[in-house]
Homo-oligomer: A and B are copies of this chain.
């Protein structure tokens, strides 16, 4: 990218201080740096952290009067509509996971609350995404595994999300629909593709970085699942992941660290924090839409011919668990440093995530959520 800009005489600055798993401080630092110059456009080269940081910088430098919380999702922020024009943003994903190049969502960790939240508005959507699997060639093994699980969960959660026509209250005008509007026939198209591709190519892409067919398919699947969840939305795996990653930096001795990720600070990789509760999430949601759960399991490679609808959640759960086992995902929350003493704090972090909780296929009590965390202490 730098060579291309230079050879076309386009002056540019590189902002190197993006934080892996951004926080409000890291967003604000990027906004401050971008605000000091007067850039014509932004280019985000990296994974979701980089693309989301560029979205936030673009949003706030183009409206310097805005307070940071103005655009952050309610109830934590004010969730104001975006009415000003942003600069062009070109997103070049170098992981096969985020889908951020297709969405109007930027996620960050609000440090004062130890909870992830975000900004969701279609104005944030990049002008252009460049989806080239060669950009993933140097992705470390754990990054390809965990970003791939993010893809699988994006697709599974959007595909099983509450159907858009069952979401209440209905807005009086389509323009007032939330960014995460529930499953719908258009998002379904993308999710099905991503699940089918993941069944066939995810293991190959992780195990053999030079398998360009598999890496290409997973890079496209990441983008397609992005279109799916960017319009349908994600629900409990993502909702439950935010407190996991929020607390993950402080549990056990110095927080969790994973091979292949930045060693400057402790972090639970996003895809890992998302998939770690997935088996128990889908066991919990299965009864609310058994046909969807069975179809998702089939797309992920399960033979569902003789499976009963009442076992739908379990069938999908087993399929996800098999994939986790094959790709060496740690054995549950306990392997990330959590124990029963953390469950209350985890649950507290989920309860305010109304935006995600409300499009799960069924409502959840505090006990339901605590139960999912408890049952996710071990995965296998």
Contacts and interface: CB of A to CB of B under 8 A. Distances in A.
Interface of A: 185, 189-190, 193, 220, 224
A224 B193 CA distance: 15
Nearest to A221: B185
Q: How many copies does the complex hold?
A: 2
A189 B193 contact: yes
A299 to B, nearest CB: 13
Dominant secondary structure of chain A at its interface with chain B: helix
A220 B185 contact: yes
A225 to B, nearest CB: 12
A51 to B, nearest CB: 20
A190 B224 CA distance: 12
A33 to B, nearest CB: 30
Most central of A185, A190, A193, A224 by chain B CB within 10 Å: A185
Closest 5 A/B residue pairs (Cβ): A189-B193, A189-B189, A185-B220, A189-B190, A189-B224
A91 to B, nearest CB: 15
A88 to B, nearest CB: 14
A163 to B, nearest CB: 14
Contacts of A220: 185
A321 to B, nearest CB: 28
Contacts of A224: 189
Nearest to A188: B193
A92 B134 CA distance: 41
Most central of A189, A190, A224 by chain B CB within 10 Å: A189
Contacts of A189: 189-190, 193, 224
5 contacts: A185-B220, A189-B189, A189-B190, A189-B193, A189-B224
Contacts of A193: 189
A220 B220 CA distance: 24
A26 to B, nearest CB: 33
A129 to B, nearest CB: 12
Contacts of A190: 189
A193 B189 CA distance: 7
Contacts of A185: 220
A113 B91 CA distance: 46
Nearest to A216: B185
A176 to B, nearest CB: 15
A223 to B, nearest CB: 9
A185 B190 CA distance: 11
Most central of A190, A193, A220, A224 by chain B CB within 10 Å: A193
